[in-house]
Structures are given as C-alpha cells and as structure tokens.
C-alpha cells in the first residue's frame, strides 16, 4: 500500500510538472505568434506606404486616398494586435489557475486510483463447512437476489446484503438494505 501511495504521489507530481511546462510553452508560443503578427503588419504597412509615396509626386488625390487607406489598415491591424495581446495575457492569467486546479485534483485522483487498484487485487472466497456440507458465499448471495426478485423488487435496488449463517439451524438469515429480512434453508 505504501508503494502504491508513493507511486501515486510521484505520478501526481509529474502530472503537475507536465501541466506547468505545457502552460509555459503555450504562453511562449502565443507571445511569438503575436510578435510575428506585429512584424507582418509593420512590413505590410511599409510596403503599402512606399508605392503611395511615389505616386504622391504625380497624383496627389490618389496618393492621399492610398495613404488614408494605409493608415486605416494600420489602425485596424494595431487594434487586432492589441486584442490578440489581451487574449494572450488572459490565457497567461488563466494558465496558473488551471495548473493549480490540476494539482489540487491530482491527490484525489491518485487516491481513487490507489483504492481501485488495491480493491481489484483482492479476491475473496468464503465457504462455510459444517457437518459434511459446504456452502459458498456467492451461491448464498445469488439466492438472496433471487428471493428479492421473486418478491417483486429489482436487483438494482439492492444497496447492501448482510448474511448471518447459522449452521446449527441449517439456515442463513439475511437483511437487504438494512430493512428487509429473510431466511434461506441450507
């Protein structure tokens, strides 16, 4: 059980580290993408300005329109870049919260996994031997379920079964859901 708990703790730590690393990588990649967008916008704006400046010498009204169009495009691109930067900042703010939640849930997940693993490894077999008779616990449980079903109930409604074996009376008494009692002759 100690090995399972230690392994589970190690697994939780590794998961938390992986989440942190992934969040950091995502933040870096998003920042790089935002920087690339800014550079592309600047280059496009400069390219658009150059033909407009050359034409301004010859055609002043057309150059002014082109210059206005470029400026409007620059404003739109800057606004888009600001929005993208805000989204990146929000993602960066949310990343630590997600990491914290994952780290907080990790011990619970590990404990649940350890309990399930421990419960799966145990196989229970119970036999009652008395005066040359042998009775299996599983057979008794099935008989209780059959009696329950014959009395008009659903097997899925059973939450607990308690057996009381009395070999001196050749009987097994049972209680279903801490409420309904019965007897099975053996």
User: Is the pTM higher than 0.75?
Assistant: no
pLDDT classification of 79: cutoffs 50, 70, 90: confident
Q: Name the pairing type of β-strands 180-185 and 171-176.
A: antiparallel
- The Cα–Cα gap between 94 and 116 comes to 32
pLDDT at 164: 92
Indicate the range of 4-13, 18-27, 44-53 predicted with least confidence.
4-13
Beta carbons of 67 and 57 less than 8 angstroms apart: no
The residue ranking higher by pLDDT, 96 or 143, is 143
Measured between alpha carbons, how far is 157 from 148 in angstroms, rounded to an integer?
10
pLDDT score at 131: 84
Q: Which residue in this structure is represented by tokens 């590794």?
A: 14
Q: Hey, which bits of the chain come out as E strands?
A: 127-130, 133-136, 161-166, 171-176, 180-185
pLDDT of 10 above 70: no
Q: What percent of the chain has pLDDT over 70?
A: 62
- 19 versus 2: the higher-pLDDT residue is 19
Average the pLDDT over 49-76 and give the result: 65
Condensed to tens digits (0 to 9), the pLDDT of residues 96-108 reads 776 677 667 767 7
What is residue 161's predicted lDDT score, i.e. its pLDDT? Answer: 92
Q: For residues 31 and 81, what is the distance between their CA atoms, to the nearest angstrom? A: 11
pLDDT at 110: 72
pLDDT given for residue 3 in this prediction: 53
Q: What mean pLDDT is reported for the chain? A: 75
Phi and psi based region of residue 165 (left: phi greater than 0; alpha: psi -120 to 50; beta: remaining): beta
The β-bridge relationship of strands 127-130 and 133-136 is antiparallel
For residue 89, is pLDDT > 90? Answer: no
**Beta-carbon count within 10 A of 20 CB:** 16
**Which whole-number Å values give the CA distances from 33 to 27, 30, 137, 156, 182, in the listed order?**
10, 5, 66, 55, 72
């Amino acid at each position: 059980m100690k090995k399972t708990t230690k392994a589970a703790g190690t697994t939780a730590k590794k998961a938390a580290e992986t989440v942190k690393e992934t969040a950091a990588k995502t933040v870096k990649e998003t920042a790089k993408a935002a920087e690339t967008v800014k550079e592309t916008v600047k280059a496009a704006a400069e390219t658009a300005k150059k033909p407009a400046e050359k034409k301004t010498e010859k055609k002043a009204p057309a150059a002014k329109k082109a210059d206005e169009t470029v400026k409007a495009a620059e404003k739109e691109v800057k606004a888009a870049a600001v929005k993208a930067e805000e989204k990146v900042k929000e993602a960066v703010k949310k990343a630590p919260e997600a990491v914290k939640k994952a780290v907080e849930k990790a011990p619970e997940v590990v404990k649940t996994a350890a309990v399930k693993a421990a419960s799966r490894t145990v196989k229970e077999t119970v036999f009652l031997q008395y005066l040359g008779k042998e009775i299996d616990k599983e057979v008794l449980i099935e008989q209780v379920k059959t009696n329950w079903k014959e009395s008009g109930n659903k097997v899925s409604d059973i939450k607990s079964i308690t057996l009381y074996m009395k070999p001196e009376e050749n009987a097994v008494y049972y209680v279903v859901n801490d409420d309904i009692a019965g007897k099975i002759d053996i």
